[in-house]
């Protein structure tokens, strides 16, 4: 796919993602307790997640008929075709259900093993982050980049806490302690897709987390890379899409975060 065609596809997909976000915002505060399902421990879902996903699948199918899907709610057959949309219709469902204003729609396009497009829409502030391979990263049409010339002591770090698999909690807390001691501050907001988007535009300087799924991080990976950041697994390798662990940072502090993880994890 040519770069020009990829840009146009990204922009068209961004409009669809924003429309899904409008629907989600309209449902804020309208979901009753009886309409909430518990999928797994501390993992919630409602009709909002499901209907948003169906909307995305239907419209993205028309945009790129040959593509398959990998989606969180599995409202469509999970097919791995040469092109595949990776979708989290509502990243931060618990925040949404508790009316905490930090949740997003996350959509990425993968060709074979390569991520080509990433779109993260922050519903409450109507902020659309998007990026496409070798085309840069953007926020509502304006070019964005990770922060430059940052020292670890001056950095703001985002993370998430284990919420269902507590196997390595002690190690994770040891890392968190060092990050708290050596940085300007740590934030935990509850939407990995948005955390990655915020790294891409310089609001955060690094994000790390474990026990994540591909749909949580796929779009954000494209954003961070196209904004000039680095992405790796906890060992500094490339198993971050399906490996359930990710570090995304400005190049200045990425080695520092990996060093803290290596020593404590």
DSSP states of 82-144 as a string?
SEEEEEEEEETHHHHHTT-S--EEEEEEEETTEEEEEEEEETTTTEEEEEETTTEEEETTEEE
Task: Kindly indicate the confidence band of residue 42, based on its pLDDT and cuts at 50, 70 and 90.
Answer: very low
Are 218 and 105 within 8 A, CB to CB?
no
Looking at residue 33, its pLDDT comes to 64
Domains and CATH numbers, the chain: 3-144 (3.30.540.10), 152-264 (3.40.190.80)
Determine the Cα–Cα distance for residues 262 and 265; give it in Å rounded to an integer. 6
Residue 150 has which token pair? 């940052």
- Tell me which residue of 167, 159, 161, 210 sits closest to 185, measured CA to CA: 159
**Mean pLDDT confidence for 217-243:** 98
pLDDT averaged over every residue in the chain: 93
Are 90 and 48 within 8 A, CB to CB?
yes
**Mean pLDDT confidence for 156-176:** 89
Looking at residue 253, its pLDDT comes to 98
Per-residue model confidence as pLDDT tens digits over 51-107: 999 999 999 999 999 999 999 988 898 988 999 999 999 999 999 999 999 999 999
Are 99 and 198 within 8 A, CB to CB?
no
């Amino acid at each position: 796919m040519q770069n020009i065609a990829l840009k146009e596809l990204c922009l068209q997909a961004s409009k669809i993602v924003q429309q899904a976000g409008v629907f989600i915002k309209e449902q804020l505060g309208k979901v009753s307790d009886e309409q909430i399902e518990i999928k797994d421990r501390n993992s919630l879902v409602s009709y909002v997640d499901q209907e948003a996903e169906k909307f995305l699948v239907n419209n993205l199918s028309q945009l790129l008929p040959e593509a398959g899907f990998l989606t969180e709610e599995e409202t469509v057959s999970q097919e791995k075709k040469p092109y595949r949309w990776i979708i989290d219709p509502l990243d931060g469902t618990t925040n949404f259900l508790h009316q905490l204003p930090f949740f997003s729609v996350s959509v990425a396009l993968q060709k074979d093993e390569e991520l080509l497009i990433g779109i993260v829409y922050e519903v409450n502030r109507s902020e659309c982050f998007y990026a496409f391979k070798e085309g840069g990263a953007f926020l509502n049409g304006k070019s964005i980049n990770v922060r430059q010339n940052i020292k670890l002591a001056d950095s703001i770090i985002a993370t998430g806490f284990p919420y269902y698999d507590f196997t390595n909690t002690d190690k994770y807390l040891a890392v968190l302690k060092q990050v708290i001691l050596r940085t300007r501050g740590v934030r935990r907001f509850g939407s990995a897709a948005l955390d990655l988007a915020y790294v891409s535009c310089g609001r955060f300087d690094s994000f790390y987390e474990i026990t994540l799924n591909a749909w949580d991080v796929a779009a954000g990976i494209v954003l961070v890379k196209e904004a000039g950041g680095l992405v790796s697994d906890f060992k500094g390798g490339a198993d971050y899409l399906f490996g359930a662990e990710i570090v995304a940072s400005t190049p200045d502090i990425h080695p520092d975060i990996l060093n803290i993880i290596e020593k404590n994890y």
